[in-house]
């Protein structure tokens, strides 16, 4: 796919797709609640559709009229053994969280995914689940998919300290703990996105959070709700960066989720001198309208506790840093190596091929700016965030053209991405 060259301005107002993390969880909690849950503004990307189909295969009736998704909940006790293997596509969220959901079921399930998912380690989930009494196995000593899992109706509670900062692992264990006999204690390495905890409360459950310590009792039931999904800040991040680095730009993003565990990129933008403003702030829905304008940016250091709050945004933050004066350092982000791709190496290779000056490290990268960009051939390797990063970079290219291979990967999280890009370029 050939992408446009340097543009002279970027103007407009758009609404990004619904938050992917909340969309996944709305389906899960709707399925596990008693009654009928309706979900508005859900993301219909391929990852979320994988979760939706998995629960249909587990016996949950889910209707989608293109506007509202209606889920006829069956509770934890109403899930049924699927007739076929569960296809998780490219979705790490689906396979990890659903492993936790299935931990308390006494039937056998096999879950598989595409080539990319098949390279992602599941041992971080399977090790604690085995301690709770789940029979689960994958490929190699890292438990790569496909996974075979058989849960237990006599699930043991767990006291577990997470070795990695991962909302997916935490959420999988919370789903398992909800079905265990007694109280489980989960201790995070670093604070990560808390959508699962928020949604437990929304659906009428009980959970106690004290800093990094989470206490949760088994045997709970949930009540169906109406869920309105805010815009995904991970999708908004690409337009936030575009609005900061493209000349003569002003981009307005409506109804973006600003959950405090996800807003690390907003902190980085402010630290780098970006012009960013908020309007229509909704403290209950944790959403706001964000506006960015072309800015003179300077380097910063990104490390420590902020990393889990922007882990998915680091590819586009790397592009942002190429357009900032000075040396930006990203540390403590080794989790990038086990995403859809090794995002440390793939991001560095992609942007360096376009003229950037990036040195990958064991846990991050060193980015020297400000650098002009030129055309190149960029392969997404099936990673949607690499594709969108390269597409935004193409707006800055001064000579040559960007050829994006496997651009279809962007459909994983943002099916309307290129339509929105065209609207802003022509705005």
Give the number of domains in the chain.
Answer: 2
| Residues 154 and 72 reside in one and the same domain | yes
| Residues 169 and 80 reside in one and the same domain | yes
For 10, the enclosing helix (H) or strand (E) is strand 10-15
- In the Cβ-directed half-sphere of 169, how many Cα atoms lie within 13 Å? 26
Cα separation of 147 and 145, whole Å? 5
**343 is an annotated ligand-binding site residue:** yes
* Of 218, 196, 206, nearest in space to 26 by CA: 196
Where on the phi/psi map is residue 82: left (φ > 0), alpha (ψ -120 to 50), or beta?
beta
Supply the DSSP symbol for 41: S
Mark whether 312 is an active-site residue.
yes
Residue 387: CATH number of its domain: 3.65.10.10
| Residues 66 and 124 reside in one and the same domain | yes
Give the tens place of pLDDT for each residue, 77-127: 999 999 999 999 999 999 999 999 999 999 999 999 999 999 999 999 999
| Residues 202 and 245 reside in one and the same domain | no
Last residue of a domain, one of 162, 194, 228: 228
**326 is an annotated ligand-binding site residue:** no
| Residues 266 and 390 reside in one and the same domain | yes
**21 is an annotated ligand-binding site residue:** yes
Q: For residue 106, list its beta bridge partners.
A: none
Which stretches of the chain drop beneath a pLDDT of 50?
Answer: none
**20 is an annotated ligand-binding site residue:** yes
Q: What does the pLDDT read at residue 386?
A: 97
Supply the DSSP symbol for 313: G
**225 is an annotated ligand-binding site residue:** no
Cα separation of 309 and 341, whole Å? 19
| Residues 48 and 7 reside in one and the same domain | no
| Residues 7 and 145 reside in one and the same domain | no
| Residues 281 and 202 reside in one and the same domain | no
Last residue of a domain, one of 228, 262, 282: 228
Q: What does the pLDDT read at residue 341?
A: 83
For 243, the enclosing helix (H) or strand (E) is helix 233-245
Residue 125 neighbours by CB under 8 Å, 6+ apart: 96, 99, 100, 143, 168, 169, 172, 173
Cα separation of 237 and 319, whole Å? 11
Structure tokens at 85: 């293997």
| Residues 161 and 237 reside in one and the same domain | no
Q: How far is CA 363 from the centre of its chain?
A: 19
**385 is an annotated ligand-binding site residue:** yes
293 and 321 Cβ atoms separated by less than 8 Å: no
Q: Which domain holds residue 87?
A: 20-228
Supply the DSSP symbol for 298: B
| Residues 373 and 276 reside in one and the same domain | yes
Helix (H, G, I), strand (E, B) or coil at 395: coil
**78 is an annotated ligand-binding site residue:** no
The structure tokens 């999280």 sit at 413
Helix (H, G, I), strand (E, B) or coil at 24: helix
Give whole-number Cα distances, 248 to 12, 45, 325, 373, 425, in Å. Answer: 12, 31, 19, 18, 11
Q: What is the CA radius of gyration of the chain?
A: 21
| Residues 149 and 292 reside in one and the same domain | no
Cα separation of 315 and 402, whole Å? 17
Q: What does the pLDDT read at residue 301?
A: 98
* Annotated catalytic residue, options 41, 47, 312, 383: 312
HEC sequence for 192-232:
CCCHHHHHHHHCCCCCEEECCEEEEECCCCEECCEEECCEC
Q: What does the pLDDT read at residue 105?
A: 97
Give the tens place of pLDDT for each residue, 169-189: 999 999 999 999 999 999 999
Q: What does the pLDDT read at residue 412?
A: 87
Supply the DSSP symbol for 101: H
Last residue of a domain, one of 228, 243, 259: 228
Q: What does the pLDDT read at residue 427?
A: 86
* Of 189, 221, 201, nearest in space to 77 by CA: 221
| Residues 236 and 153 reside in one and the same domain | no
């Amino acid at each position: 796919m050939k992408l446009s060259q340097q543009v002279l301005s970027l103007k407009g107002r758009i609404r990004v797709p619904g938050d992917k993390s909340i969309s996944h969880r709305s389906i899960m909690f709707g399925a596990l609640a008693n009654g009928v849950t309706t979900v508005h503004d859900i993301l219909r990307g391929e990852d979320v559709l994988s979760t939706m189909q998995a629960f249909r295969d587990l016996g949950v009736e889910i209707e989608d009229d293109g506007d509202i998704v209606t889920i006829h909940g069956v509770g934890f006790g109403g899930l049924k053994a699927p007739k076929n293997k569960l296809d998780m596509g490219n979705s790490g969220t689906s396979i990890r969280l659903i492993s936790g959901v299935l931990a308390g079921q006494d039937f056998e399930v096999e879950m598989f995914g595409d080539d990319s998912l098949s390279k992602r380690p599941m041992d971080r989930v399977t090790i604690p689940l085995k301690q709770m009494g789940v029979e689960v196995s994958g490929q190699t000593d890292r438990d790569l998919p496909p996974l075979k899992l058989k849960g237990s109706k006599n699930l043991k509670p767990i006291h577990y300290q997470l070795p990695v900062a991962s909302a997916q692992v935490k959420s999988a264990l919370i789903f398992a703990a909800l079905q265990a006999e007694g109280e489980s204690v989960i201790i995070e390495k670093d604070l990560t996105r808390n959508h699962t905890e928020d949604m437990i409360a929304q659906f009428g459950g009980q959970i106690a959070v004290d800093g990094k310590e989470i206490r949760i009792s088994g045997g709970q039931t949930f009540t169906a709700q109406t869920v309105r999904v805010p815009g995904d800040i991970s999708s908004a991040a690409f337009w936030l960066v575009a609005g900061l680095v493209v000349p003569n730009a002003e981009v307005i993003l409506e109804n973006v989720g600003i959950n405090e565990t996800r807003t690390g990129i907003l902190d980085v933008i402010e630290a780098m001198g970006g012009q960013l403003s908020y309007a229509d702030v909704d403290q209950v829905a944790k959403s706001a309208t964000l506006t960015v304008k072309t800015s003179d940016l300077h380097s910063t250091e990104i490390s420590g506790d902020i990393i889990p709050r922007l882990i998915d945004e680091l590819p586009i933050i790397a592009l942002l840093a190429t357009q900032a004066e000075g040396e930006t350092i990203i540390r403590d982000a080794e989790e990038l190596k086990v995403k859809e791709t090794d995002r440390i190496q793939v991001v560095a290779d992609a942007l360096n091929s376009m003229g950037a000056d990036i040195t990958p490290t064991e846990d991050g990268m060193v980015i020297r700016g400000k650098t002009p960009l030129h055309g190149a051939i960029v392969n997404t390797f099936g990673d949607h965030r690499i594709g969108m990063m390269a597409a935004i970079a193409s707006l800055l290219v001064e000579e040559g053209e960007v050829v994006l291979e496997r651009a279809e990967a962007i459909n994983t999280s943002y099916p309307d991405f290129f339509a929105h890009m065209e609207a802003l370029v022509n705005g």
